[in-house]
Amino acid sequence: MARKEFLDYVWTYCIEPQLGYSFSLNHTLPYSVIAVQEANLATRWNPLYWQCACLCVNSGNYVGDIGEESEDDGENQENSDVDLEEEQKTKKVAPNYTKISKAISDMQLSGVTIELPDINTSQEEFYPDVKNNAILYSLSAITGVSDSLYNKIISNRPYVSLDDFITKVEPTVGEMFCLIECGCFNKLLNKTTEQIVYLYAQKLAEENCPLKEKITATDLKKIVSLGYEPEQFNTEIRVLKYKMYIDKNQKDSANKRYLLTDETCKKFFMVYISDKLNMGKSEYYYLPDDVIGVKITAFEKAYNTIIQPLYQYLNSPDGLKKVQSIRKDNFLEELRNKYYTGTCADWQFKNMCFYRDKPAIFNINKIMYNIVNFNDLPETFDSKNICAVAGTVIGANNGKHVVSLLTDTGVVEVKFYAEAYIKYNQKISTVDSATNKKTVLDDSWFKRGANIIVYGSRRENVFAARNFKAERGYYRMVGLIEQINLDGSANIRYNRNKK
């Protein structure tokens, strides 16, 4: 039998040190199997497959086990009453764009290339493009793509042109702009995203604004309201605008007449129109209080005579082309305001919650605004060392008062105390008492896509937002970045709009 001194020695110097890192057999065996599997994957397969699998899991598109659904790590599950066959199935859930953005950011920082989706090769989930050593973005994770749309995209492949895609899939205009802005057609057409957006917009303009055979009164009013005012038809345009005004404000429809009451209307009538009417036939007449009455039928006859030269020009070949050009420009402006304002990087974030191209926010002058790399900060909170982080909001947790911020060095979780979180998260609006219409004065600064700068200091794994005393004694915590200038300076608003 071994001596006690020997047993104490073995325990103290051989066994006890292992207690800090050794596993029981129940842990050792499965971890060993996993290690062998990973070694086999790394040896036989391109690491891209593993990286892509990690991205699919970390982005939260699939829930693979009960532990994840119940928000624990799966370690405390009990084996009883668990259907192992059912357990192995994966369950599709709605995309979590905060998770997607974080997962992609981590991949990009580790050197993995995330490519824009491709209309002929991208799949429902993130897909390894081994040939180009990149991961293709998931079709199902695009914000404007429904389940039915990506299923139609995949089932109708291949596509040889934009028209071929539109014919086979029949997408809406909004869906098309979403796919184009994501870069889905870049490889197919061998053009940039901006070029394809322009190409599709022009196609829509041609379809919606054809060359007309004849210009009507409605067309004339429309193009004048859009700013068409040629000098050679100055009088005609003024008379047209005059009629539009009195039709709205000076018309007595019940008695089939205009009642000109204000001095400006009466003066204009006397200078430009009265000589075309016969006062003796009561086509116009004076009423008490110096009001001028004008028969509608007589006025319209004089009006048509005055603007006839304008009608003749606009119904000529050159005029018809001019009207078409005006309509196209207006159509494209409305289309741009609705679907494709901003830069290519803005479109990428709007539709996919990640930046493939460098956005303007990442060009901000860090020294000027004391912006730091969160990962370089000490984990202990230091109230005397207030600095800043800046980036794009990818998500906000109202319960925990945490905002997820995408910076050029990764995703930073910014923690606010409740009062400050509510202050910057609220949407400020006003209601018109007459129309009961609500107007938003200042949207939430924590809305996804907003660019903000936050002051504070690191506390373990979060950035704790705090007020700091800026120049002239002002206290600041959060600023809304409205524009980045070429020199790296920024237009930053620190106060909420309330009127």
Question: What are the structure tokens assigned to 62, written together?
Answer: 């699939």
Average pLDDT over residues 355-363: 94
**Residue 215 confidence (pLDDT) above 80:** yes
Between CA 109 and CA 60 the distance in angstroms is: 19
Peptide bond connecting 158 to the previous residue in cis, omega within 30 degrees of 0? yes
The whole-model pTM stands at 0.80
**Residue 79 confidence (pLDDT) above 70:** no
**Residue 401 confidence (pLDDT) above 70:** yes
Which of the two residues, 252 and 68, has the higher pLDDT score? 252
**Residue 134 confidence (pLDDT) above 60:** yes
Mean pLDDT, the chain, rounded, equals: 88
Mean pLDDT is lowest, of 151-155, 227-231, 269-273, for 227-231
pLDDT tens by residue, 309-319: 999 999 999 99
pLDDT band at 63 (very low <50, low <70, confident <90, very high): very low
In the chain, CATH 2.40.50 covers: 358-493
Mean pLDDT is lowest, of 56-70, 96-110, 249-263, 287-301, for 56-70
**Residue 114 confidence (pLDDT) above 90:** yes
pLDDT band at 78 (very low <50, low <70, confident <90, very high): very low
Average pLDDT over residues 141-164: 94
pLDDT band at 54 (very low <50, low <70, confident <90, very high): confident
According to CATH, the topology of domain 358-493 is OB fold (Dihydrolipoamide Acetyltransferase, E2P) (2.40.50)
Average pLDDT over residues 233-245: 94
**Residue 126 confidence (pLDDT) above 80:** yes
What are residue 373's phi and psi, to 5 degrees?
A: -85, 115
Mean pLDDT is lowest, of 93-102, 128-137, 367-376, for 93-102
